[in-house]
Amino acid sequence: MAISADSFFWDPTAQGTLQAQIRQMIAEGILSGRFRVGEKLPSSRKLASHLGVSRITITLAYTELLADDYIASKGRSGYYVSDDAPQPPNFKATRTAADTVDWSRALGQRFSGGTPFIKPKDWRDYTYPFIYGQADETLFDSANWRLCALQALGKKDFSSLTTDYYDEDDPKLIEFIARHTLPRRGIIAQPDEILVTMGAQNALWMAAQILLTQRRTAAIEDPCYPSLRDILTQSRCHLAPIPVDRDGLPSEELPPDTDVVFTTPSHQCPTTATMPLSRRQALLARAREDDFLIVEDDYEFEMSFLKSPSPALKSLDQDGRVIYIGSFSKSLFPGLRLGYLVGPKPFIDEARALRSSVLRHPPGHIQRTAAYFLSLGHYDALIRRMGKAYFERRQVMEAALNQHGLDIAGQGVYGGSSFWMRTAPDVDTQTLAERLRSKGVLIEPGAPFFGAETPPKNYYRLAYSSIPASKIEAGVNLLAKTLNSPF
């Protein structure tokens, strides 16, 4: 039987070249069992005319399918579905009739119910996206990233791509982090004191698993990164939220039974405060006295475009009490999922074993691509470019916020990518955010950052990492108008 050209249709949502789309139509037809072994394909002339493309496009797609044994040619009589083509199974797929399991009983542990994600997925469609932590594609050096990815996919590197590293990392990436990235934060570490993670989130999660138990106490900053609070809640340790001030975490407020402190000294999340040197030294002295450990999340240190960043807290650590977390995800792009843990070998050994059990290792191809992007200097060039753009945006934004009399609660002395904002106490920024959304303005309500049952509702975060400078004035204007109009 011949397959009619009429059974081919363009899928309006399909991507890729026309040739690839034609290949895909035929491969899917064979894999799904619609086209069967021995059936004749339409001639290239007929199919070309039906689909409105040139014959050579059809011929090239057929040639590819021929090479992959999906189709075979029989002399001059044309192409047929090959005897060797993948065949559909000889049984029918069925759907589970009914879910009869009592899942409320069957689930041993629950992980859902944490802080919901507050950013709409279609944030790109809003005119004024003052949201945090999404990459601005216009700043990203996609051309060079693509070149590095290609190099990492090349013949020479192919084994780095296919290899099961078991519990190890790409040695090239580890070497770059040890020799270049960490020294810029004042840290010297050996390769066996570094572990690559699936972003900073994964590093925080591992540190919590290794250092905490149900009987231990973790001190966290209040407000803090909501996902950190979720991670610690899941670990069932005791939580001690410590209110931060304009200098970040005050170590004198830590309870005496503290086992682990989670802190963001370079750039407190979300208030943007930077911890002064004296307070860092006090924190380290207190850690020694009370024998606790510190997990330092050094997020966003690269965005220090106003003045040079101070060295990491870890660089002052004389005792090996600080576990350091760095990340390429935020500044490269969040979808990359690449960060790292730095700490004493006994800790890194446990983290390596845990990671191996949970997921083995971050994919080799991504590690190698990042290693090239870093070692060719593209990463630092990108950071400079982003810093310049953020500097401009920040100036425009600060002027607009001041002009409209909006209250800045924190703005980061080194730079960063956001302002921490405050309204009058009776304003609920959740309601404000909803009203703004209908006007194309996205802001982040502040309540999820706080740990209390009844968190303050009059804070919000305004980021400039995803919004172009040209939109900032109008966006802030809309924000001020909405805030000042009766609810």
CA 156 to centroid of chain Cα atoms: 29
Rounded to the nearest whole angstrom, what is the least distance from the CB of residue 481 to its own copies in the complex? 30
* Piece of the chain touching its own copies by CB under 8 A; list 158-166, 410-418, 425-433, 435-443: 158-166
Q: Are strands 128-129 and 79-81 parallel, antiparallel or unpaired?
A: unpaired
Q: Whole-angstrom Cα distance, residue 113 to residue 314?
A: 33
* Piece of the chain touching its own copies by CB under 8 A; list 43-51, 154-162, 239-247, 470-478: 154-162
Name all contacts of 18-27 with Cβ < 8 Å and 24+ positions apart.
18/51, 18/53, 18/57, 19/57, 19/60, 19/61, 19/64, 20/61, 22/47, 22/51, 22/53, 22/57, 22/58, 22/61, 23/61, 23/64, 23/65, 26/61, 26/65, 26/70, 26/71, 27/65, 27/70
Contacts of 351 by beta carbon, 8 Å cutoff, 6+ apart: 195, 206, 207, 210, 341, 343
3-state class of 463 per DSSP?
strand
Rounded to the nearest whole angstrom, what is the least distance from the CB of residue 385 to its own copies in the complex? 8
Contacts of 101 by beta carbon, 8 Å cutoff, 6+ apart: none
Q: Taking CB under 8 A as the rule, does residue 161 contact its own copies?
A: yes
**Tokens at 297, concatenated:** 């999340």
Q: Taking CB under 8 A as the rule, does residue 153 contact its own copies?
A: yes
Rounded to the nearest whole angstrom, what is the least distance from the CB of residue 152 to its own copies in the complex? 9
192 contacts 348 by C-beta, under 8 angstroms:
yes
Rounded to the nearest whole angstrom, what is the least distance from the CB of residue 281 to its own copies in the complex? 14
Q: Taking CB under 8 A as the rule, does residue 256 contact its own copies?
A: no
Q: Taking CB under 8 A as the rule, does residue 277 contact its own copies?
A: no
**Residue closer to its own copies, measured from CB, 20 or 408:** 20
Q: Taking CB under 8 A as the rule, does residue 110 contact its own copies?
A: yes
Please classify residue 487 by burial: count the beta carbons closer than 10 Å to its beta carbon, then call 0-12 exposed, 13-18 middle and 19+ buried. Answer: exposed
Total binding residues for its own copies by CB under 8 A? 144
* Piece of the chain touching its own copies by CB under 8 A; list 107-115, 394-402, 433-441, 449-457: 107-115
Rounded to the nearest whole angstrom, what is the least distance from the CB of residue 411 to its own copies in the complex? 23
* Piece of the chain touching its own copies by CB under 8 A; list 72-80, 269-277, 304-312, 437-445: 304-312
Q: How many CB atoms lie within 10 A of CB 244?
A: 24
* Piece of the chain touching its own copies by CB under 8 A; list 174-182, 410-418, 419-427, 470-478: 174-182
Q: Taking CB under 8 A as the rule, does residue 285 contact its own copies?
A: no
**Residue closer to its own copies, measured from CB, 209 or 482:** 209
List the x/- string, 58-97, binding to its own copies by CB under 8 A: -------x--xxx-------------x-xxxxxxxxxxxx
**Residue closer to its own copies, measured from CB, 30 or 174:** 30
Contacts of 349 by beta carbon, 8 Å cutoff, 6+ apart: none
- Choosing from 8, 23, 300, 463, the residue that interacts with its own copies (CB under 8 A) is 23
Helix orientation angle between 378-403 and 142-152, rounded to the nearest 10 degrees: 150
Q: For residue 85, give the DSSP letter.
A: S
Of 342-401, binders to its own copies (CB under 8 A) are: 344-347, 349-350, 352-354, 356-366, 372, 375-378, 380-381, 383-385
Rounded to the nearest whole angstrom, what is the least distance from the CB of residue 480 to its own copies in the complex? 29
Q: Taking CB under 8 A as the rule, does residue 109 contact its own copies?
A: yes
Rounded to the nearest whole angstrom, what is the least distance from the CB of residue 441 to its own copies in the complex? 20
Q: Taking CB under 8 A as the rule, does residue 309 contact its own copies?
A: yes
398 contacts 411 by C-beta, under 8 angstroms:
yes
Rounded to the nearest whole angstrom, what is the least distance from the CB of residue 153 to its own copies in the complex? 5
Q: Taking CB under 8 A as the rule, does residue 151 contact its own copies?
A: yes
List the x/- string, 216-235, binding to its own copies by CB under 8 A: x----------x--xx--x-
Nearest to 283 by CA among 327, 334, 248: 248
Q: Whole-angstrom Cα distance, residue 460 to residue 420?
A: 6
Q: Whole-angstrom Cα distance, residue 155 to residue 168?
A: 21
Rounded to the nearest whole angstrom, what is the least distance from the CB of residue 17 to its own copies in the complex? 9
3-state class of 362 per DSSP?
coil
**Tokens at 100, concatenated:** 């009869």
Q: Taking CB under 8 A as the rule, does residue 98 contact its own copies?
A: yes
Of 419-458, binders to its own copies (CB under 8 A) are: none
